[in-house]
């Protein structure tokens, strides 16, 4: 085996030597080769400059239109590498390479890689949609993929949420885009929906007025839209009122807790009550006859 390898090396060196001797004896054959190499280098150098320039232009255009750094960086890189690939193919063509077969090989390799990474590509595509359409932004409180939290970061493959008990959640973007997205921070105001039940023995007009006075007395309850108190249901054990004040989105949970506490105190102080669920049982005794 070693002898065969040595013989192949000698043959290769001999062929290389003969090729170089032919080039020296026939200098006119060198000129096209040198010209092709020089043109290929120029094409690559100039094309790379143009690709970088177009990348910067696309990045600035996206920043002006969307103002998003993630989308801007992504578009910039895509433009740059697509143009750079085109420049490399042009340079290889100038050197005499058959780029048709190269493109076919690259396409087949891309298809194989795409099939192998289909889940990652799904997350990637979902990340692009999240960045472009913006169903939520950093700092918004959202419900996504059956979890709730504050959005801390949006990347092309996954998004990062912080829960109210300070846990970090990393959620694949494909799960987010394929599920219902509830954005609690999309609007500046939110409505608090409460159901308050009072006893059948209470004066319902008085109870309704107590509830309305409690809402209007709170300094963080908005006057526009005005708070509503409506009789909602004559339930089994109570008369239920629907209580709907509007507050700033940032004040939702603190105001909700404060209103529940104040309603409990004011209802009882006003002579009304909160009934417990109850059933009336009637016993009938049969006569001995």
Looking up residue 164, the CATH number of its domain turns out to be: 2.30.30.60
> Is residue 277 included in any domain, yes or no?
no
219's tokens: 């300094």
Domain containing residue 102? 12-116
Q: Give the domain-ending residue among 163, 183, 203.
A: 183
Q: Residue 91 burial by CB count (10 A; 0-12/13-18/19+): exposed, middle or buried? A: buried
111 and 23 assigned to the same domain: yes
Q: Give the domain-ending residue among 127, 156, 183.
A: 183
Residue 276 per-residue DSSP state: P
CA distances from residue 162 to 149, 184, 188, 249 in whole angstroms, order as listed: 5, 15, 21, 18
CA distances from residue 266 to 207, 209, 276 in whole angstroms, order as listed: 9, 11, 18
Place of tokens 């290929």: 40
250 and 226 assigned to the same domain: yes
Counting the structural domains of the chain, the total is 3
105's tokens: 């090989």
64 and 31 assigned to the same domain: yes
Per-residue pLDDT of the chain (289 residues; tens, 9 = 90+): 556 656 666 666 676 666 666 656 665 556 666 677 778 888 888 888 888 888 888 777 767 765 566 667 777 777 888 888 888 878 877 777 666 666 676 677 666 666 655 777 788 788 878 877 889 988 999 999 889 999 998 887 889 999 989 999 999 999 999 899 999 998 999 999 999 999 999 999 999 999 999 999 999 999 999 999 999 999 988 999 999 999 999 899 999 999 999 999 999 999 999 988 777 787 877 777 6
CA distances from residue 28 to 33, 47, 150, 228 in whole angstroms, order as listed: 10, 29, 71, 95
Q: Give the domain-ending residue among 183, 216, 239.
A: 183
Taking the C-alpha atoms of residue 210 and residue 222, their distance in angstroms, rounded to an integer, is 18
CATH code, domain carrying 56? 1.10.287.1260
78's tokens: 């895509």
Q: Indicate whether this model's pTM tops 0.85.
A: no
154 and 100 assigned to the same domain: no
207's tokens: 């109870």
């Amino acid at each position: 085996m070693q002898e065969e390898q040595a013989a192949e090396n000698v043959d290769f060196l001999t062929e290389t030597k003969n090729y170089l001797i032919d080039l020296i004896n026939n200098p006119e054959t060198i000129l096209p080769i040198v010209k092709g190499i020089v043109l290929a280098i120029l094409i690559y150098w100039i094309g790379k400059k143009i690709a970088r320039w177009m990348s910067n232009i696309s990045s600035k255009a996206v920043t002006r239109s969307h103002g998003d750094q993630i989308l801007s960086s992504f578009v910039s890189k895509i433009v740059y590498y697509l143009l750079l690939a085109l420049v490399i193919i042009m340079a290889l063509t100038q050197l005499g390479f058959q780029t048709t077969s190269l493109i076919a090989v690259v396409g087949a390799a891309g298809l194989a890689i795409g099939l192998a990474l289909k889940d990652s590509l799904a997350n990637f595509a979902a990340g692009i949609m999240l960045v472009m359409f913006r169903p939520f932004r950093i700092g918004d409180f959202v419900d996504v993929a059956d979890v709730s939290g504050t959005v801390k970061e949006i990347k092309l493959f996954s998004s990062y949420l912080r829960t109210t008990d300070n846990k970090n959640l990393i959620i694949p973007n494909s799960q987010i885009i394929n599920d219902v997205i509830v954005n609690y921070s999309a609007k500046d105001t939110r409505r608090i929906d409460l159901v308050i039940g009072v006893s059948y023995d209470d004066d319902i007009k008085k109870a309704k007025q107590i509830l309305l006075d409690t809402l209007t007395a709170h300094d963080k309850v908005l006057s526009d839209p005005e708070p509503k108190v409506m009789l909602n249901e004559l339930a089994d054990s109570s008369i239920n009122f629907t209580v709907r004040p509007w507050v700033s989105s940032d004040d939702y949970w603190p105001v909700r807790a404060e209103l529940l506490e104040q309603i409990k105190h004011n209802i009882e102080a006003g002579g009304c009550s909160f009934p417990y669920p109850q059933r009336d049982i009637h016993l009938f005794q049969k006569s001995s006859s």
